[in-house]
Amino acid sequence: MPEDNNSNTRKFIGVWFECCHTYGRLYKNKEGTLYRGRCPKCLRPIKVPINAESEKATNRRFFRGS
């Protein structure tokens, strides 16, 4: 299987949406300031700010959304 070296792939984080017990993705906006998305079932919006300089910064890629 060839490696995917496509630099156009969008960055995302995985989220478990507790509202509908389903998994979804939040994609990074063009400015690179936050991840934004919606619950795939009820369409509740969610956004997660990106601040790599913060003491609370993390390298995790999967989260729970309430």
The answer to whether residue 16 is domain-embedded is: yes
How many distinct structural domains can be found in the chain? 1
- Give the per-residue pLDDT at 50: 86
Name the residue type at position 20: C
The answer to whether residue 2 is domain-embedded is: no
- Give the per-residue pLDDT at 24: 95
- Give the per-residue pLDDT at 1: 46
- Give the per-residue pLDDT at 5: 57
Domain encompassing residue 30: 12-52+59-65
In order along its 66 residues, the chain shows pLDDT tens digits of 455 555 568 889 999 999 999 999 999 999 989 999 999 999 999 998 888 777 777 777 777 876
Residue-wise burial string across 41-53, b where 16 or more C-beta atoms lie within 10 A, e elsewhere = eeeeebeeeeeee
The answer to whether residue 20 is domain-embedded is: yes
Cite the beta strand spans of the chain per DSSP E: 12-17, 22-28, 34-38, 45-49, 62-65
